[in-house]
Structure formats: structure tokens, C-alpha cells
Amino acid sequence: MRKTGSKPEFDIAVIIVNYNVKAFLNFCLESVYAATQDLKAEIIVVDNDSDDDSLSFLNQWHDRVKLIQSTDNKGFAKACNKGLIASNAEYVLFLNPDTIISEDCLKKCFKHFHTNENIGAIGVKMIDGSGNYLPESKREFPTPRTALFKMLGLSTLFPKSALFNPYYLGHLSNNEIHEVDVLTGAFFSMNSDVAKKLNGFDERFFMYGEDIDLSYRIKKSGKRVVYFPHSTIIHFKGESTEKSSFQYFKAFYGSMKLFVDKHYTKAAGLSFGLLLNIGIILSALFGFIKRSVSVIFVPLMDVTTIVASLYLVSKFWAQFYHGQIDYFEKSPLFLNIALYALVWTAMMAINGVYKRKQNIPATIKSMFEGLFVILVIYSLLGSTMRSSRAVIILGFIASLIAVVGLKYLINFLIYGRKSNEVIVLGNESDDLRLVLSKIGYHRISSVSLSDKSALYEASNLVFSIEKIAFQEMIGIMKTRIGKEQLYFWDAHKKLLIGSKNKRDRGQQLDEKSLYEIARPVKRFYKRIFDILSVFFLIPGFFIALFADAQLGIYFRSLLDILSGRKTLISYNQISSPQKLPIIKNGFFLPGKTKSPDDQLLIARDYALHYSFLKDLTILLSHYVDIVLSLSRDT
């Protein structure tokens, strides 16, 4: 730590607080490296106890970083102050991990500090992941009037109005330098001596409002706060936080109340506090309604669709096959229909269908897996409780068509038709094709930077950071506002990020995160499959195994599976599975080929597309081979 007034070792210290956004952090750091080529800079990352292997990733790929590891998450402000204390530079930049800066950003800010007097802090123009300007780049201090207009939505209706949108200073040009009240904590550059004299951020602000408070104290100290749009950065916005929850609204408005209590008079504080409390109640109500729609409405719609499909199929089959429309007894029939509908809906919930927009592939997979579970349940029910296998199969087909069709319709009405074509600015690779195919892109082509028309007309575009400067990416983004999607690809580390707009949490994908078998729910499926295989599905397999093996080996195999020490299907036996997610050792390979290269390809496909049905298919195939082998021997 440098004492205030002593000569600094570096020109600038870039302080980044990370919490579970490894992929976004990677691109942020790469852009910072590019922006500090001609500056003496120290890069400090404070990790707030992430559990997404951020630490091992940083140690492996980013040896230029000074890493400060927190054992718990005490908030953004405290983490920033840890970095500030550890820094030794003339200027300090607090930077969000979900940002990308241009190569000339820091040099321009550095120059503006030096050529203008009495500047305490500088912020820059920000755009979201689709190139849209972010109004929080420059703000006014919150007042009861600004809070009221923001709460009523008037600031959104009249974005350029000095009266109705004073908070975001909508009447000031986004492209001119202005002295403003508040800068965003996503990019907050300061004179280091000023920052340390003011003791950095107020640590009572856990996540929101700390930038407003620090801006206020900078201006109160007599220094200027400057909005500097001659450099633009990308802020994917909100990748570390979920902004639709009650906790978010409570934390945000709680921070605003803390700011008001700290800096405003008692009379102003009372009126502002009343508006804040109303805001908390209204926001909580809105959040509850929104969550209820997403959590309850869509699954209820699926249950209703499946119940209706099964009921109509049962009536059709009763009339068509039995010649009597009321052939099935009502109580067992309704019980069966309710049970089957709940199984299929539960499978969709487990597979994450309700966590995002209507996920068609996951829905289809869930319906097939649910059918398998239902057939197992059917075999266990007494004859008086069974409906009909034909009703199950036909009901499955009808439900699948109805549910998937309804989801297609909802997707089309809400999101429009999404193009499955994407253009890569740079070289496409097998790894990139794999990542893009997993998120729905199957028509992939590449272009060069000189092909301007293709870049601007493409609905979906991927920037390969090895092939194009960050400044050029930002320039292209500004011309593509309104297009579908932009992504950023790091071929060396196999990382992809993207965000549609400031309200999206965005996507951060690496190759391992794409493997289905790495998902906890799929591990659970695999465990259930192993247990069911022992007890219910194919007992003849173990008889065949016993007939061809010693008694001790047979029972040890059985106990290893039941105890979870081993699994039936595993790729761990092949020579080089180190690039695949780790699973337990097993008895059978996913494929039967003897070629090591082919085995690795099959194992990779198994890990990528793992499902309950895939294990069943593989195991039945091995079972048939064993039976045929035994029959030949006899």
C-alpha cells in the first residue's frame, strides 16, 4: 500500500470484484490487458468467495493478475476497498467483471485527468451487449421528485425530458463531455489519493448505491465528477445478480434509504423514505406476480394440456377399441391421468424447462424420459389401478404434440422467429461449432473484417477476440442495434459470452458446462438408473453375469452399483478421458469400438448428450451381446 503523497509505482490500478462470473471476467481481463499495453498498470482481482472455479481458472490463465481471495462475500464495496488498499498507482479504476473496454479507453481517461484540473472521478459511455446506450452512464443525485417520476414510469415515457427524466440526465447529450452528479460503479476511475482520502466506498452499502454515495462525497470535497463519452465500453449488466427477486428490490431500495439517511435533511429524508417504502412494496408485488407467472402459470398450462390430451385419448380409445366411451372407471382413470401429468411436468422442471423461455429440446427430452418413468410405474401398479398401455402411448404422442406445439406458439408470439444462422468474425472451429449448436445455431459461416455488409446485416454475430480488436468490436456493435444477438468467443480458452440487452442475465458458456452429464440433475438420473437397473429393469442381465462370473465378483459388482462406488456405464476405462467431466468407474463403455480415437469420440458424445434413455439403450445393447454369447456357448 502506498502512503498518500508518495510516488506511485504504477500509472493505474484496475480493481475488479468477481463473484461467479468466470467467463465474463476472462473477457474483461483480456480487454484490460489490451488497454494497458503502454501504461504501467497493476490488475487486482478480488474474488468474493466464488464457487464456479474462478480461482483455479485465474491461476491457470491469468498470471498477470494480483489475486485477493475473500473467504466470504461481504459485498462489492468492501471488496473494492480491499483492492484499493493493496494498490500502488496514481489512478485507480473500479471495473465490473461483466465489462469489455476498448484499447484506448484507459489512455484517454488518463490524458483527460492530466489535462483538466480538479477532476475527482471519470466515467465513460456504456452500451449493453446489443449496442444500446445505457442511461446509467450519467446520473443526477436521487431526490423525491426523481424517485416519484421513476416509480411512475414517466422517466421511461419521456427519456429526453429534463423535467421527467432528471435522474438519467436525458436532456444532456450522450456524446458530449459533461460534469454530472453520479457515475456508475461498473466503471469508476479516480485519482488514487482522492479515493484513499475518502476511504473508498462506504462498506455499509452491500451492492447498490455505493457509487452514488462516493460520487456525492467526491463532489462535496470540491472535486469534479465527469462523464467522458469519448471512450465507450460494453457493460453486459447484472450478470452477478438476479434483478427480478424480492431480495434485489429490498437491497436496492434499502441502499437508497441508507444514502438518504446519510446525506439528506430530516424533512427531505421523511418524504423520500415514504416514496422508497412505497417503491419497495410495489416492486415486491410486481416481482411476486412475475415469479408466480413464470413459476406457476407455465407448469400449470403444461399440466392442463397433458391432462386434456390424456383424457381425450382415453375417451377415443374406449370408444374405438372397446366400443364404449365410458369403458374406463373414472376414479382409476383420473388418478392415472393426474399421476402421468405430474410425472411429465416434474421431468420438465428437473430438466430446466421452466428456467428460461420455452425450451423445446428439453421439453421433448423430458417427455420421453417421463414416458420411461410412467411405464415403470405402470408395471408396478395393480391390475385394478392400471388404465391401458395404449392410452399411455397414444396419450404420450398427443401430449407431446400439444405441449411442444403450444411452446412453439408461445415462443413465436413472445420472441418472434429466431434465426438459427450465425456468422463468425474470425475462424470457425469444431469447438465453436459445438458450443453454438448447443444454444440453437446450426448454420454457421465465417467472414472477414473487410466484409462490412455481411457484418452489419447478420442477425447473429460472433466476435473471435483473437481476430479483431475490442475497439473495432464496439464500433460494429453501435451499428447493429436491433439485431438479434452478439457473442464473444475466446478460442484459446473455449469460452463464449453474450447478452441480448441490459435486462438479460446473459450467457456464459465454456466447453465443460455444455456436457449434460456434468449437470447435477443428470448425475441424479444416472444414479437412479443404476439402482432401477439392479432391482427392476433387467434382472436377467445379472443372472447372465452370474452365469459367466465367479460368485464373489457378481456380488461385489452388485454392491458397488448399489453403494454408488461404481456406475454401469462409464468412459473412465478409455485411455484419455481427461478432457471429459469426471464420473465414477463402470462396467461398460458407451461404445463397442476398439479404436481409442473412436472410443473417445463416442465417450464425448455420451457426455454431451447424456440421458436416461441413452444409458438404457447402451445397457440393453450389452445385454443382448451377453445373451447371444451365452447362447452360442451352449
What are the residue boundaries of the structural domains of the chain, listed by start?
10-241, 516-633
Distance in angstroms (rounded) separating the CA atoms of residues 515 and 535:
28
Of the candidates 430, 429, 491, 421, the one whose C-alpha atom is nearest the C-alpha of residue 457 is: 421
Q: How far apart are CA 75 and CA 254, in angstroms?
A: 14
Q: Which residues in 177-190 are b (16+ Cβ under 10 Å) and which e?
A: eeebbbbbbbbbbb
Assess contact for 462 and 433: CB atoms under 8 A.
Answer: no
pLDDT at 284: 58
Q: Burial of 379 by CB count in 10 Å (0-12 exposed, 13-18 middle, 19+ buried)? A: exposed
Residue 551 confidence (pLDDT): 45
Report the distance separating Cα 462 and Cα 523, nearest Å. Answer: 32
pLDDT tens by residue, 524-552: 888 888 888 777 544 555 554 555 544 45
Residue 220: is it exposed, middle or buried by C-beta count within 10 angstroms (0-12/13-18/19+)? Answer: exposed
What is the structure's pLDDT at 338?
92
Residue 455 grid coordinates: 457484418
Residue 473 has pLDDT above 80, yes or no: yes
Phi, psi of 66, rounded to the nearest 5 degrees: -90, 110
Confidence of residue 375 (pLDDT cuts 50, 70, 90): confident
* Residue 600: pLDDT band with limits 50, 70, 90: confident
Q: Which residues contact 85 (CB under 8 A, 6 or more apart)?
A: 1
CB 423, CB 448: distance < 8 Å: no
The more confident residue out of 551 and 563 is: 563
pLDDT exceeds 70 at position 268: no
What pLDDT is recorded for position 577?
A: 54
Least confident interval from 31-40, 144-153, 449-458: 144-153
> Alpha-carbon dihedral of residues 153, 155, 158, 164, nearest 10 degrees?
120
69-78, 110-119, 327-336, 359-368: which has the highest mean pLDDT? 110-119
Q: How far is CA 192 from the centre of its chain?
A: 34
Per-residue model confidence (pLDDT) at position 359: 75
User: Largest Cα–Cα distance in the chain?
Assistant: 96
β-pair type (178-179, 65-69): unpaired
Give the separation between CA 272 and CA 260, rounded to whole angstroms: 7
All cell numbers assigned to 536: 427392476
pLDDT at 237 (0 to 100): 73
Please give the class, per CATH, of domain 10-241: alpha beta
Which residue type, as a one-letter code, is found at position 376?
Answer: V
252-276: average pLDDT? 71
Strands annotated E in 182-304? 187-191, 224-235
pLDDT of residue 555: 61
d(CA 214, CA 94): 12
What angle do helix axes 298-322 and 330-350 make, rounded to 10 degrees? Answer: 140
Compute the mean pLDDT over every residue in the chain, rounded to the nearest whole number.
Answer: 83
Q: What is the structure's pLDDT at 357? A: 63
What is the per-residue pLDDT for 75? 87
